[in-house]
Amino acid sequence: MTKKHNIILQPSGSRGQVEEGQSIRFAARELGVDIESICAENGTCGKCMVLIEEGRFEKYNMNSKRENVSPVTPVEAAYFARRPNLLKSKGWEVGQVRLSCQCKIRGDVLINVPEESRGNKQIVRKSASEREIEIKPSIRKYLVMMTPPNLERPIADWERLAKGLETSMGLVRAGEENLPRWSDFTVDYACLRTMSATMREAKWKVTVSVWQDKEVVQVQAGYHEDSYGAAVDIGSTTVALYLCNLRTGEILAAESEMNPQIVYGEDVMSRIQYTIEHPDGLEKLHKAIIATLNKLLKQAVKTANARVSEAGDSSESASEDSAIQRIGVEDILEMVLVGNSTMHHLLLNLYPKDLGLAPFVPVIHKSVDVKARELGLHISPSGNIHVLPTIASFVGADTSGMIIAEEPHKQDENWLLIDIGTNAELILGNRKRLLCTSTPTGPALEGAHVEYGMRAAPGAMERIEIDEKTLEPRYKVIGVDGWNTDYDEFKGKVKGICGSAIIDGVAELFRAGIVDSRGKFKTGLESARIRQGASGWEYVIAWADETSIGRDIPMTQQDVRQIQLAKAALFVAARTLLKRFGLESPDKIILAGGFGSYIDKEKAMLIGLIPDCELDKVYAVGNAAGDGARIALLNVEKRNEIGSVTRRVERFELPTDPEFQNQFMLATSFPHMSEPFPHIAHLIPNRVMDAMAKKFVNK
Amino acid sequence: MTKKHNIILQPSGSRGQVEEGQSIRFAARELGVDIESICAENGTCGKCMVLIEEGRFEKYNMNSKRENVSPVTPVEAAYFARRPNLLKSKGWEVGQVRLSCQCKIRGDVLINVPEESRGNKQIVRKSASEREIEIKPSIRKYLVMMTPPNLERPIADWERLAKGLETSMGLVRAGEENLPRWSDFTVDYACLRTMSATMREAKWKVTVSVWQDKEVVQVQAGYHEDSYGAAVDIGSTTVALYLCNLRTGEILAAESEMNPQIVYGEDVMSRIQYTIEHPDGLEKLHKAIIATLNKLLKQAVKTANARVSEAGDSSESASEDSAIQRIGVEDILEMVLVGNSTMHHLLLNLYPKDLGLAPFVPVIHKSVDVKARELGLHISPSGNIHVLPTIASFVGADTSGMIIAEEPHKQDENWLLIDIGTNAELILGNRKRLLCTSTPTGPALEGAHVEYGMRAAPGAMERIEIDEKTLEPRYKVIGVDGWNTDYDEFKGKVKGICGSAIIDGVAELFRAGIVDSRGKFKTGLESARIRQGASGWEYVIAWADETSIGRDIPMTQQDVRQIQLAKAALFVAARTLLKRFGLESPDKIILAGGFGSYIDKEKAMLIGLIPDCELDKVYAVGNAAGDGARIALLNVEKRNEIGSVTRRVERFELPTDPEFQNQFMLATSFPHMSEPFPHIAHLIPNRVMDAMAKKFVNK
């Protein structure tokens, strides 16, 4: 029987008995600790460096140190000789640092696996709950070196490759290479077609990319370290794509484009309608988004290559083994996409009719995996397209992305997640139970259908304040520091009002007493800014000479009305979820979407856009759906996780009964009559408080 | 705790304890006995009929019979009331015969599952070893009836279907329908795209076809019993397609066409050459075979529908529940194909270059599964194309088919399988060990490159005999009974000589002493039939006035030479295999291929085409490769089986050293100098025996 030795791996603390003569890397794998290696254990990539901390550690005999492993091999010596700076910077000496694929176990030993050698690296993501994301992509790469075929062993190319792959992955132990074993790997058909030529051209030294530990999807000549993937958030209005390095998690490029489907209808309902009314409607909408995605992919690769060229000119950080390589779209091996249910259906060329008609049913909830070539997406033809699951007709794959990014299903506290757009999706709950619903909020919150509304861009007002004594405003403009009143001559010429300033404006109009609790402009106030405009009462925030458009910029009665409807819808949806859950208020509110990132939380609460909650428990997390897509791209386990979470989310449509309509009308008032509001009470003018008190007394 | 009862199922004898109140069908499944059902256990298909033989069988109390099952339900009563003839013909009475999906267990019971209700049916196949083939297709059909979605339960179409499918398959027990359970089924992307419309059009009653128990590949409106598949043998010259009913195993149509690739090269080497020399060569050859397969599929469906129309007019055998349905190519859900390695590569659009250049390496051995739409094959786009594994560069998927059909790997005896064509593949061995090789035999055996050679067709000579005294011949012609000499005036006008007659002719020329052991024409014999022709000596078999071509039909020195080369190649290949195996002769010889079916085994042995063996141990099995494809189509388990067999077949190329060349030259003689030939010794003329004896003495 072979002799066994005790080994301990730090920092994980994994320990166990392993056989004499095994490599440290093999032994570590047996104990569940993955050590990197991409050179097929040839001692050339250096990814598997470990530190021998103690030999015979039971006795702590420092003198016997390193006797319990095999001596440094010439391969290792050569590797380290070429890297004096590395050793110096780390303070390591050869013998203490070893290549774990080369170093064999001869006795009890304590080993330290440094961060850079660990199989599963982590990146830190900023979010409501700051946390680390483990990098476990669906694609892993292996260097495979094969003996060329000869007349004695004319085994087929695929079987030769599969065997070599198993050796590289450590599935075949030394000495067992010739035992009959047949591969369980499969090969993608498009990859099979081109593989043989590459193997020969590369003189039987190739890098093999394996998807989900089972399917070979790419064979490249020579040695390659990095794999690439793209995460995409398809919004009704904007499509955002992130090109990522699947090994490091790094974002190499972030590109966005308008969703071209907008010419067929501004919101999802009108696009669904278009596919119903036009026989080729679905085909057109599908092709439009595919074309845009292909354009974004091309742009992203260009951006990434431009960065690489710059880095190549100035830095020495390039690995000595791999020259910096320009990438092509065909090197992108996976895409993960999110989008609302309609975007999901149009992407997958699924007829969205029943999404828009009662009882509002998607074609599929479950995540979809489909080959890039089936959709005409120009990444590797063998690449996989993964679309996150939908939850309901109006709670789509974007919400799945938000859940992945924010993880409400792992909390003890009760979190309320709101993704605000033309439609708002809401998730409420904790690790035990999650509820979801959605509500249309209209385009006002995104600056559309507001007289001088615009997207958040240079020239847009982003903050507004109104002095309650003088009724004079001040504002901030995107791209300019400070308030307009801070300058003698304000340089920021204003063009319009973006979403966050619209919320500010409405809140300030209310706070300053210019509009009442019901949202109506009061007449008879002493200010030139309050006047009858073309479509009713309005309040001028910027005079024509402060603007770049040469016209006064007011907020109108109509604008206030739009916001009232939007906030009432959102508020009633949140309130209904809370009621179903048996809660007064959530422990935390998370606002996702671009809009949520810029609003003044206090003002939003003042006008009743979100339920009352401690202000420092309200977080804005930006594009959580896109973040979720990126996390699912980088960590394949998240896909199973979201699959099981979406299955147990309780979804329901908001009721349409008269009682509910009442609630809705009540919720249009400022702040909102039906609720206590301890956290913003100090902001509410005394006259409003008095009026409300009077009203309640009268009841 | 629920009460348990003993049940026994006949004829399998399976027994066990099952819970009170379970249906017989469910209980049988628990005991490993599959009972048919395709109506989702609604009591309408009648596939699951069983006979209640005894209640309380431990006591054999005949009076208590049938008390231990639930009473006949109205559904059953209605079903049987509509089928008085069935009951009469079988001699069954209602109550004794029950629908096992309706009948519940209330006590101990003995049940007989009649042949027609058993889950896995069998068909008998004629072959060298007559045996039954179990029908276990990769496709199974289930009727799924769903509750339409409503606002309370707007679950997506796919999840609704998957849930219904699980209920139909008995994966969900009664009472557990609403427990959360998520499907492991996947759905093919093309099927996903069309499924929703079908479900609605069918008012939520559909038939679902499941591939390999995991992937949904077809959703049809309403109730359908039958699935269809095609088995194909792609020969270098001829492509044969069998359209099969996957439920019954019946062949609905058999169609064949010339392989259109023949215009790019007659043999495999010249087609490989064509792909090397022409940049678009592979694409052309690939498209040619795909087009022919699509043509054959269309023809086969037409033939099958014509048969159905006839049957529909005259017979009453149609099931009462399912109207006879015309099928379309889109109803074909799977194809299984075989062919030599070159045909395999051209079918799959794989570059065959390395098949034809040393060291002769295929792209892949393993079987390939690919969606029909990826190859442009016009069956269901979601249908699967399964190509059997290749064994070596010149031992292709056709040999895999032959192994499936003949099963040498299950024998205690040593079998020699020879598939004879332009190339011959040979397999030798038993359940423990299998060897394979291949050898080019040239086109002579198929009637090509022989002066008056032709394919087996009306007008071709199929048998030749020569009287050794008079040196006069007689012959048989395909399509005419008896010998030409049996008639005063022979009606059969001759056109040429097919493969079997060529073997006869050469053997008879030798036996009659017209050619010598070395295959040379003797001069000076007294016969007008032996003469100097345009290209050397020849023997006239038919005079011009006996033919439809108005010319004498001779066999020439050149023809004899062709056969000598072919038979020497085949003989040496067989001999080498036997030697490697350590055998003198095989226990059985199996000749596959159209050619093998028609030759006179004795004559073939006389000229040394096949090794000496007892004549009644030589079998001709026809198109075994095509049979193998059909078996693999009908029984999915055969695919795994051939996968593991091909992995352990030892393959080798025939050596090219001078010793081997010597062997080859020696083997060109008649019968063959290097071997004993006990089973044909009586046929060899005394003068030959004498000469041979003299020769051996001289040595």
Question: Using one digit for the tens of pLDDT, what is the confidence trace for B629-648?
Answer: 999 999 999 999 999 999 89
Cα angle for residues B687, B692, B698 (degrees, 5° grid) = 125
CB-CB contact of B55 with B64 (8 Å): yes
B525 three-state secondary structure:
coil
Q: Return the pLDDT at A689.
A: 64
B489 three-state secondary structure:
coil
Distance CA A585, CA A595 (A): 22
Q: Return the pLDDT at B337.
A: 98
* Measured CA distances, B530 to B472, B473, B678 (Å): 10, 12, 31
Cα angle for residues A677, A680, A682 (degrees, 5° grid) = 115
> Which of A109-123, A147-161, B570-584 is predicted least confidently?
A109-123
Contacts of B368 in chain A (CB under 8 A): 189, 192
Q: Using alpha carbons, select from A363, A416, A427 the residue that is nearest to residue A390.
A: A363
Q: Return the pLDDT at B18.
A: 87
Q: How confident is the model at residue B488 (pLDDT cuts 50, 70, 90)?
A: confident
Arithmetic mean of pLDDT, A313-321 = 44
Q: Return the pLDDT at A167.
A: 84
Distance CA A145, CA B505 (A): 56
- The helix or strand, by DSSP H or E, that contains position A234, with its residue range, turns out to be strand A228-234
Smallest CA–CA distance, residue A431 to chain B, in Å, is 17
Q: Of the candidates B157, B200, B360, which has its C-beta nearest A364's C-beta?
A: B157
Q: Of the candidates B189, B359, B363, which has its C-beta nearest A150's C-beta?
A: B359
Structural tokens at position B465: 């005999």
Q: Return the pLDDT at B322.
A: 41
The residues, any chain, with a CB within 8 Å of residue A176's CB and separated by 6 or more, are: none
Q: Using alpha carbons, select from B581, B633, B639 the residue that is nearest to residue B611.
A: B581
Smallest CA–CA distance, residue B360 to chain A, in Å, is 6
Q: Return the pLDDT at B182.
A: 55
B576 three-state secondary structure:
helix
Beta-carbon count within 10 A of A368 CB: 24
pLDDT at B469 over 70: yes
Distance CA B272, CA B266 (A): 11
Q: Of the candidates B192, B196, B368, which has its C-beta nearest A354's C-beta?
A: B196
Residue with the bigger pLDDT between A475 and A170: it is A475
Distance CA A432, CA B163 (A): 24
- The helix or strand, by DSSP H or E, that contains position B131, with its residue range, turns out to be strand B131-134
CB-CB contact of B334 with B246 (8 Å): yes
B595 three-state secondary structure:
helix
Q: Of the candidates A149, A351, A392, which has its C-beta nearest B196's C-beta?
A: A351
Would you give the DSSP letter of residue A462? Answer: E
Contacts of B159 in chain A (CB under 8 A): 364-366
Residue type, B164: G
Would you give the DSSP letter of residue A668? Answer: T
Q: Show the DSSP H helices in A63-170 as ranges.
A: 74-81, 84-90, 157-168
Residue of A nearest to B150 (CA): A359
Looking only at the bridges linking them, the beta strands covering A368-371 and A618-622 are unpaired
Arithmetic mean of pLDDT, B446-453 = 73
Are A156 and B365 a contacting pair at CB < 8 A?
yes
| A590–B contact, CB cutoff 8 A | no
| B75–A contact, CB cutoff 8 A | no
Q: Return the pLDDT at A535.
A: 79
* Arithmetic mean of pLDDT over chain B: 85
Q: Return the pLDDT at A607.
A: 87
Q: How confident is the model at residue A688 (pLDDT cuts 50, 70, 90)?
A: low
Q: Of the candidates A149, A360, A361, which has its C-beta nearest B359's C-beta?
A: A149
| B653–A contact, CB cutoff 8 A | yes
| B654–A contact, CB cutoff 8 A | no
| A361–B contact, CB cutoff 8 A | yes
| A374–B contact, CB cutoff 8 A | yes
Q: Show the DSSP H helices in A370-476 as ranges.
A: 372-375, 397-406
Distance CA A514, CA A555 (A): 11
Mutate to test the interface with A, among B364, B400, B434, B641 (most CBs of A within 10 A): B364
Q: Return the pLDDT at A526.
A: 87
Are B364 and A156 a contacting pair at CB < 8 A?
yes
Q: Show the DSSP H helices in B483-552 as ranges.
A: 499-511
> Which of A202-206, A485-489, A674-678, B35-39 is predicted least confidently?
A674-678
Are A156 and B195 a contacting pair at CB < 8 A?
no
Q: Of the candidates B182, B192, B354, which has its C-beta nearest A196's C-beta?
A: B354
Arithmetic mean of pLDDT, A487-501 = 82
Q: How confident is the model at residue A181 (pLDDT cuts 50, 70, 90)?
A: low
Q: Return the pLDDT at A301.
A: 96
Handedness of CA A479, A483, A486, A490 (dihedral sign): positive
pLDDT at A455 over 80: no
Q: DSSP readout, A350-369? A: ---HHHHSTT---S--S-EE
Residue type, B479: G
Q: Of the candidates B157, B390, B648, which has its C-beta nearest A363's C-beta?
A: B157
Q: Return the pLDDT at B35.
A: 84
* Tens digits of residue pLDDT in A566-579: 899 898 899 899 99
A265 three-state secondary structure:
coil
Backbone phi, psi, residue B416, to 5°: -115, 115
Number of A:B CB contacts under 8 A? 121
Are A196 and B365 a contacting pair at CB < 8 A?
no
Q: Of the candidates B158, B393, B648, which has its C-beta nearest A363's C-beta?
A: B158
| B180–A contact, CB cutoff 8 A | yes
Distance CA B184, CA B162 (A): 9
Structural tokens at position A448: 């559309």
Structural tokens at position B393: 């560069």
Residue of A nearest to B373 (CA): A374
B69 three-state secondary structure:
strand
| A187–B contact, CB cutoff 8 A | yes
Residue of A nearest to B194 (CA): A350
Arithmetic mean of pLDDT, A529-546 = 91
| B279–A contact, CB cutoff 8 A | no
- The helix or strand, by DSSP H or E, that contains position A533, with its residue range, turns out to be strand A530-533
Backbone phi, psi, residue A339, to 5°: 170, 165
Structural tokens at position A104: 């064999």
* Tens digits of residue pLDDT in A220-246: 999 999 999 999 999 888 899 999 999
**How much of chain B exceeds pLDDT 70, in percent?**
87
Would you give the DSSP letter of residue A128? Answer: S
B588 three-state secondary structure:
strand
ipTM over 0.95: no
CB-CB contact of A583 with A414 (8 Å): yes
Cα A123 to chain centroid, rounded: 13
Q: Using alpha carbons, select from B429, B434, B426, B364 the residue that is nearest to residue B395.
A: B426
| A360–B contact, CB cutoff 8 A | yes
**Omega before A359 cis (within 30°)?**
yes
* Tens digits of residue pLDDT in B360-390: 999 999 999 999 999 999 999 999 999 999 9
Arithmetic mean of pLDDT, B436-460 = 78
Q: HSE on the CB side for B22, CA within 13 Å?
A: 23
Arithmetic mean of pLDDT, A192-203 = 97
Residue type, A27: A
| A542–B contact, CB cutoff 8 A | no
Based on C-alpha coordinates, what's the Rg of chain A? 31
Residues B345-370 as b or e (16 or more Cβ within 10 Å = b): bbbbbbbbbbbbeeebbbbbbbbbbb
* Arithmetic mean of pLDDT over chain A: 85
Arithmetic mean of pLDDT, B224-235 = 94
CB-CB contact of B285 with B271 (8 Å): yes
Q: How confident is the model at residue B452 (pLDDT cuts 50, 70, 90)?
A: confident
Structural tokens at position B92: 């069954």
Smallest CA–CA distance, residue A571 to chain B, in Å, is 22
Q: How confident is the model at residue B475 (pLDDT cuts 50, 70, 90)?
A: very high
The residues, any chain, with a CB within 8 Å of residue A155's CB and separated by 6 or more, are: A149, A163, B361, B365
Arithmetic mean of pLDDT, A183-193 = 92
pLDDT at A99 over 70: yes
Number of residues in chain B? 699
| B497–A contact, CB cutoff 8 A | no
Strand order in the sheet with A530-533: A530-533, A536-542, A553-556
pLDDT at B450 over 80: no
Contacts of A180 in chain B (CB under 8 A): 647-648
Beta bridge partners of B10: B112
pLDDT at A119 over 90: no
Q: Using alpha carbons, select from A332, A326, A352 the residue that is nearest to residue A340.
A: A352
Are A159 and B366 a contacting pair at CB < 8 A?
yes
Q: How confident is the model at residue B58 (pLDDT cuts 50, 70, 90)?
A: very low
Beta-carbon count within 10 A of A122 CB: 15
Q: Using alpha carbons, select from B674, B697, B672 the residue that is nearest to residue B510.
A: B672
Q: How confident is the model at residue A62 (pLDDT cuts 50, 70, 90)?
A: very low
Arithmetic mean of pLDDT, A137-158 = 92
Q: How confident is the model at residue A175 (pLDDT cuts 50, 70, 90)?
A: low
Are A653 and B393 a contacting pair at CB < 8 A?
no
| A195–B contact, CB cutoff 8 A | yes
Q: Show the DSSP H helices in B91-240 as ranges.
A: 157-168, 189-201
Q: What is the pTM of this model?
A: 0.82
Backbone phi, psi, residue B595, to 5°: -60, -45
| A322–B contact, CB cutoff 8 A | no
The residues, any chain, with a CB within 8 Å of residue A481's CB and separated by 6 or more, are: none
Arithmetic mean of pLDDT, A59-71 = 60
Q: Using alpha carbons, select from B451, B450, B217 the residue that is nearest to residue B334.
A: B217
pLDDT at B401 over 50: yes
> Which of A277-286, B131-140, B554-563 is predicted least confidently?
B131-140
Q: How confident is the model at residue A374 (pLDDT cuts 50, 70, 90)?
A: very high
Q: How confident is the model at residue A130 (pLDDT cuts 50, 70, 90)?
A: low
- The helix or strand, by DSSP H or E, that contains position B143, with its residue range, turns out to be strand B139-145
Q: Of the candidates A157, A349, A366, which has its C-beta nearest B364's C-beta?
A: A157
CB-CB contact of A542 with A555 (8 Å): no
pLDDT at B276 over 50: yes
pLDDT at A162 over 90: yes
- Token pair 């022409």 is found at B278
Contacts of A654 in chain B (CB under 8 A): none
Are A358 and B151 a contacting pair at CB < 8 A?
yes
Residue of A nearest to B345 (CA): A193
CB within 8 Å of chain A, chain B residues 626-645: 643-644
Domains and CATH numbers, chain B: 4-117 (3.10.20.30), 138-221 (3.10.20.880), 228-387 (3.30.420.480)
Distance CA A451, CA A461 (A): 14
- Token pair 């014999």 is found at B525
